[in-house]
Every structure is written in C-alpha cells, then in structure tokens.
Amino acid sequence: SQRMESLLRDLLWLSRLESPDGSEERAEIDMAALISEVRDEAALANPTRTIEIHLETDSSVMGDYKQLYSAISNVVFNALKYSDDEVAIRWSRDASAMRLSVADFGPGIDPQHIPRLTERFYRVEKSRAQETGGTGLGLAIVKHVLMAHNAHLEIESEPGEGSTFTCVFPLA
C-alpha cells in the first residue's frame, strides 16, 4: 500500500508539472539554501552515509521552490539509492550556465540506458525496482521540472565507476 501511495503521489505531481495552468509560484530561489536543505534531509534519512556539498557560487535561480526542491531531492536520493559510498553535490557557475551536479560512486550505468533514463517507469534492470522501492517516475519528474525552468539534465556514467547527474540552468 505504501508503494501504491508513492506511485499515486508521483503521478499526481507529474500531472501537475505537465499541465499548463500556470500554478507555479516563481521567485528568486537561494540555491545554496535549497541544496543545503536537501542535503540535511538526505543526511537525516541516511545517517551513516557521507554527503559532501561544494557551493562554488551564491547564484540564485528564478523559479518555483517546490518544483526545484522536488527535482534536486530526486537526484540526491537516487544517488544515495545506487551508491554504497559517498555522494557529492556541487553548485557551480561557468560562462554559460549554473550547474547542480550530483555524483555517486556506485555501479554506474551502461551507456545504452542513458537516453531512456528520464522516461516514465524506465528501469535499467527490472530487479532494481524491488531493491530500491522507487516508483520509476523520479527522473521523469526531474526532466519536467527542469524543462519548466528552461534547464536540462546531463548524465555521465561509466559502468563500475559511478554516475554524475547535472542540472544545467543556462544563464541566457
């Protein structure tokens, strides 16, 4: 019943993200504070894990706080699910974009799966569905939140080496 509740909650959230009703509340979001809040929540849920945070910029993003919190927490909690080791979160800025990168040192992902990771219910391995207890909607939610913020997701992974998921917010 808990998995069904999680699935329904994620489907409703995804449905809201996809509807063009304009219900989002845009404001200037202090990303360092939001990232720290997600990290603190993740640390409480995973007290034996190391979650490093590197805030290299104090840049903010114009957007919807609830949506951005949802996307970032999905990426961070996914990294924790698929890694037994530490997770590193980095907020940085370069000449073209602000970047939120979440790196894990888990099993990595075979390159053939990367283009499909943001599809609803897509699983790299069907056996992972029962191990992690996820709904299969987390990265679809991340994709839709980023699209609503004129941003996108980049995924780098090497089997056996871990993965890095980067939310890219263009400056222009």
pLDDT at 85: 80
- The reported pLDDT for the residue numbered 129 is 46
Q: How many angstroms separate the CA atoms of 32 and 167, rounded?
A: 14
Q: What is the pTM assigned to this prediction?
A: 0.82
CA dist., res. 34 & res. 6, Å (int)? 23
Residue 156 has pLDDT above 80, yes or no: yes
pLDDT of residue 118: 72
Q: Which pLDDT tens digit goes with each residue over 106-141?
A: 888 888 888 878 777 767 765 444 455 566 778 888
> Residue 163: which pLDDT band, with cuts at 50, 70 and 90?
very high
